[in-house]
Structure 1
Amino acid sequence: MEKLKNSLLYYYKKPKIEMIKFSSTIIFFILFIHPSAVNGQSREFEILKNIELIDQIHEYLELYFVDEPQTGNISKVAIDAMLKELDPYTVFYHESNMEDYRLMSAGEYGGIGALIRDVKGWVHIIEPYLNKPAHKSGLKAGDKILSIEGNTMKGKTVEEVSSALKGPKGSAINIKVERGDETLFFNVIREQIKIADVPYSGMLKGDIGYVKLSSFTQTAFQSVQSEFQNLKADGMKYAILDLRNNGGGLLFEAVKIVNLFIPKGELVVYTKGRIEKENREFKTRDVPLFPDMPLVVLINENSASASEIVAGSLQDLDRAVVVGTQSFGKGLVQRTYDLKYGSKLKVTISKYYTPSGRCVQRLEYYDRNMDNAPVEISDSLIKTFKTKNGRDVIDGRGIVPDVEVANKKYAELTKTLVLNDVIFQYVNQYVRKIDSIESPSVYTFGEENYQDFISYVNSISDFQYSTIAEKKLSELKDLVKKDSSYQDLKDEFEKIELEIIADLSRDLMRYKMEIVPLLENEIVSRFYFQKGKTEHSFSYSDLIKEAVRILVSQNEYEKKLNP
């Protein structure tokens, strides 16, 4: 390897276009870690050969291509394509994309502080963050963004609008929006926006403390610890840690959060990779603040990485009951390296393993199907491990909860209302008629209001939906039409169609119980923002109800951990 390093040093002393040198550095790094690289001298040759080839291609393009090539774009496309062959988590951050990196690592960026989404071809503000520039300037959920700094946003993607809204702290931005029949102009002063690690915490049923953790940034442990301490001061006797839709983040923060509940010196997670010196064990370092407090951890299919470390280690150590649905299954660890010219490279360097010895990684990125998509680890390779108390847990499938509470399944009508932004647009006009609502915990959308919603939906001329039964019957009908027996069955098909055909007014009443909570959530968020929306959701969440039931039933809780 020393020979290779010397060769590279000599190679980079030669005059080169800076862009070419930069690209070659990246190529070298990826080849260095890629498991398909061969060993010994042949490996060194393979690395140098590929560097030479890439540089030659760049040089010939610069010299001979018919038009002057955009070398920066060419390099970026080449790097992205190369990394795509590895896994989705090995990512190159160009110097111009440092805002994305800061958002990923620290949960902060320079901007106006608002969620945005495409609605009917225009990007809208979905939710301004409480007390952030968008909110303080008067922008509201439902505002259609027409232009930014005089530049039209028509046809722009969410990414393009988001980029236009971001900028240095203290800089001003002019935003033109449409709100109902009005066109409004706002001058907003950007701030450094820190996305809250804990968007909600509070007490449920008097003595059950609840903390929702949204991501594992550099301040995640501090935030979780502080919130649980405050809840304990308020009388908390039981705890719920909600990791649903938490895609992960910093491993160290996960270890420290686990340490709140388990003794000093316990193994939380260990990592193993191709490079032995990168293998590490992570143990708790401090005396726990809540060593005996009954604990439930909530997960779902979007809980990944650091969330799975927390849930998996607490499950392996029989310290918490895990409730929800099977987690995502990301058992890969990344490290970020500084590159030249202010860029960074985030690289997958190892896999992590929970205390029982299992790795939760679900997909094999080096084993792909005909569509070049990664495949799940084969059932034949799944192994069983034991928790501290002897319970069975498996690897290769994320974290399987101790108590499964399935996600709510919605009717086709409800899904169509959401996907077509009917609820969002109805609430836009509804909230303009009222000044306030009751507190999130008690607010209800009454029958009179629901009848108004039905009238609104019926007034949408191009609103269409079909039930699953309709779709399946149509497919069957098309198939039978090819057969001579269709004429004999035609009357029967028509009778069935009359029974199952979508009837909008009828179905809006039939599925009222699942539509109303969605309307309430959207309305509550307009007045009480994300915190209020979370609080309101507790009243109809089967998952929260099950978590509470397990915690308050001491026999049930102990039985789950000590079968």
Structure 2
Amino acid sequence: MKFSRATFWALVILIPFSFGFITSVTDNFFEISKNLDIFGHLYREINSTYVEDTDPEQLMRTGIDAMLQSLDPYTNFISEGEAEDLRFLSTGQYAGVGAVVGRQGDRILIMEPYRGYPADEAGLQAGDEIVGIDGKPVSGADMEVGEVRDRLRGKVGTDLSLTIRQADGTLREVALTRARIKVDNVPYYGMVDEHVGYVKLTGFTQDAGQELEKAIRDLRQEQPDLQGLVLDLRNNPGGRLDEAVRIANTFIPQGEVIVETHGRMDASHRVHRAQRAAVEETLPLVVLINQGSASASEIVAGAIQDLDRGVIVGRRSFGKGLVQNIRPLIYNTQVKVTTAKYYTPSGRCIQAINYAERHRDGSVHRIPDSLRTSFLTRNGRTVFDGGGIEPDVEVAVPEWPAAVEALDVKGLIFDFATRFVNSHPQPADARTFALAEEDYEAFLAFVASKPFSYETQADRELQELKKTVAEEAYSDLLTEELTALEAQLAREKSQDLNRHKELIVRLLEREIARRYFYMPGEIQADFDEDPELNEALRLLRSPERYREILAGR
């Protein structure tokens, strides 16, 4: 087996960066040199003597990934073949057909075509199954979604052919030409009511700040008497730091500190200020966050909160206060490495997990509330570090019941929406679209025709009770009671789809609206039933309460 010199030297370059070699050469040189020498000898020995043939590249990648995983989940090695994914995360652009693909059982499906791009223009729809690419079969049983996605991507202007199985079972050949795809950071903006605007921000890739500024200016043009704005950062995982600063600057005046970063290297100590005049410096603002709001989203929400520029509504954010930079390595490889922590204007770091302090088994833990430090906003309100951004107004959103979760996971809501749009005309608009009673009955019949089952907490506890009864030799005494209880539970579960009808109808309406009107339709369909958005509207319609919250009263 030949020794892979390229992969060995990739690790030689990678390890210095991971252990802070740049900043402490003299202190760590001996330990680094010794351990590299040990690793090199070990690697050669394994490749030459292990009982089975080894894949040197895969072996090295496993070692690299394990090493970086011991630091934190965000420090990652990026091979030459993964560079396109990195560019997409940074720019929001890639070359392909413009469709989200996913797995459902053994099927690889079009989950969402992007409006105006090749897949959409060719008539591909959500729910179409990809069964072939360029004459080669595709099967969810044998292929990962990432492999299918990679085959759909390629150079701009190149052609490919898809074999599609439509919802009715018809096979269709579709010829496509790859194009440059740009995924918008702002998929929707509009007026929620006569005086309040709404902007959905889903990413922080290149030009996110420009997209937000354009959205706000368009809302101003549509409604000169704009009296409030909702910026929705829910489930936004973050992205570029410079775009986060620009987005915060949209509402924060020039010269104000938005975020600071501090790390081991001198270059990591930076103060990021608002560089230009704010687009909307005084417009009442509510920012929506939840547990899926992370990183750049938390920079924006933290700056808005600390400077008392707006009110944060929703649920506590994720708690990612770490900054990553991309460092080039050799052979067109790179490393995304955590270089600093960021601090909001009040001086707090909202990182929720301390990866430097691990349990004996290697696991990590969230910083307990008892160890969190308090800080003050511009107006003297108390905020805390170490656990994400806590909203000024918390909105409790209950978890989905087991039956609803199962409907979603098994794709039954998705599949029924596919069937629905193929048999119903497009409604007038997404916001007023409502599922008819007969349509819900059709959904129940559709679910009944499928092998649908799920386990509740009551199921698990009943099984545990039966096990305990058997272990303690009470089975003969309690058999009838347990059987009756099991039957009663089954009867109650049979009513779950009616018991949770309101939530299920809401999810169906969102999915169906998305098929007709793309992502903007999904957002608009939920306007009137969204508890966090409705709380934001109540707040913006009550100027006195809005001012009291920011004043800390």
Q: In which range does the TM-score fall when normalised by the shorter chain?
A: over 0.9
Residue type of the partner of 2:495?
A: R
- Cα distance in 1 for residues equivalent to 2:400 and 2:48: 59
Contact 2:21 2:28 in 1 (8 A): no
1:427 aligned partner: 417
- Cα distance in 2 for residues equivalent to 1:132 and 1:408: 37
Within 5 Å, which residues of 2 pair with 1:52-71?
Answer: 52-60=37-45, 70-71=55-56
Contact 1:467 1:501 in 2 (8 A): no
Within 5 Å, which residues of 2 pair with 1:134-213?
Answer: 134-154=119-139, 155-179=142-166, 180-213=168-201
Residue type of the partner of 2:155?
A: P
Task: Give the drift of 1:284.
Answer: 1.2
- Cα distance in 2 for residues equivalent to 1:33 and 1:173: 46
Which of 313, 316, 336 is the matching residue for 1:346?
Answer: 336
1:364-393, Cα deviation, whole Å (9 max, x unpaired): 112223553321123442111111111111
1:175-231, Cα deviation, whole Å (9 max, x unpaired): 112112211111111111111110111101111111111111121111111101111
Which of 290, 315, 318 is the matching residue for 1:328?
Answer: 318
- Cα distance in 2 for residues equivalent to 1:534 and 1:340: 44
2:301 counterpart SS class:
helix
Residue type of the partner of 2:147?
A: E
2:88 aligned partner: 103
1:482 aligned partner: 471
- Cα distance in 1 for residues equivalent to 2:87 and 2:279: 30
Task: Give the drift of 1:472.
Answer: 2.1
1:339-374, Cα deviation, whole Å (9 max, x unpaired): 222222211111001111110001111222355332
Contact 1:125 1:144 in 2 (8 A): yes
- Cα distance in 1 for residues equivalent to 2:419 and 2:265: 58
Q: 1:187 to 1:214 in 2, by over 3 A?
A: same
Deviates more, 1:56-65 or 1:224-233: 56-65
1:516 aligned partner: 505
Task: Give the drift of 1:542.
Answer: 0.8
1:368 aligned partner: 358
2:295 counterpart of 1:305: yes
Contact 1:458 1:504 in 2 (8 A): no
Which of 115, 123, 143 is the matching residue for 2:100?
Answer: 115
2:247 counterpart of 1:262: no
1:372 counterpart SS class:
coil
Contact 1:176 1:184 in 2 (8 A): yes
Task: Give the drift of 1:487.
Answer: 4.7
1:390-428, Cα deviation, whole Å (9 max, x unpaired): 111111100011111122332222111111111112222
1:428-479, Cα deviation, whole Å (9 max, x unpaired): 222222242231011111001111111111222x222344333323322322
Task: Give the drift of 1:78.
Answer: 2.5
- Cα distance in 2 for residues equivalent to 1:83 and 1:493: 51
Residue type of the partner of 2:164?
A: V
2:405 counterpart of 1:418: no
1:311-353, Cα deviation, whole Å (9 max, x unpaired): 0111011111001111000000111122222222211111001
1:231 aligned partner: 219
Task: Give the drift of 1:64.
Answer: 6.3
Contact 2:6 2:331 in 1 (8 A): no
Q: 1:499 to 1:285 in 2, by over 3 A?
A: same
1:216 aligned partner: 204
Unpaired segments ≥5 residues, structure 1: 1-15
2:35 counterpart of 1:45: no
1:284 aligned partner: 274
Within 5 Å, which residues of 2 pair with 1:14-25?
Answer: 17-25=5-13
- Cα distance in 1 for residues equivalent to 2:458 and 2:51: 58
Task: Give the drift of 1:101.
Answer: 0.9
Within 5 Å, which residues of 2 pair with 1:495-506?
Answer: 495-502=484-491, 506=495
Task: Give the drift of 1:505.
Answer: 5.4
Contact 2:112 2:125 in 1 (8 A): yes
Deviates more, 1:300-309 or 1:493-502: 493-502
Q: 1:65 to 1:204 in 2, by over 3 A?
A: same
Q: 1:66 to 1:393 in 2, by over 3 A?
A: same
1:531 aligned partner: 520
Unpaired segments ≥5 residues, structure 2: none
Aligned length: 544
- Cα distance in 2 for residues equivalent to 1:42 and 1:253: 37
2:436 aligned partner: 446
1:368 counterpart SS class:
coil
Residue type of the partner of 1:303?
A: S
Contact 1:32 1:47 in 2 (8 A): no
- Cα distance in 2 for residues equivalent to 1:301 and 1:272: 25
Q: 1:33 to 1:514 in 2, by over 3 A?
A: farther
Contact 1:467 1:502 in 2 (8 A): no
Q: State the percentage of identical aligned residues.
A: 38
TM-score, with structure 2 as normaliser: 0.93
Q: 1:380 to 1:110 in 2, by over 3 A?
A: same
Task: Give the drift of 1:490.
Answer: 4.4
RMSD (Å), alpha carbons: 2.2
- Cα distance in 2 for residues equivalent to 1:166 and 1:540: 37
Residue type of the partner of 1:30?
A: S
1:252-305, Cα deviation, whole Å (9 max, x unpaired): 111111112122211111111122342111111222121110000000101001
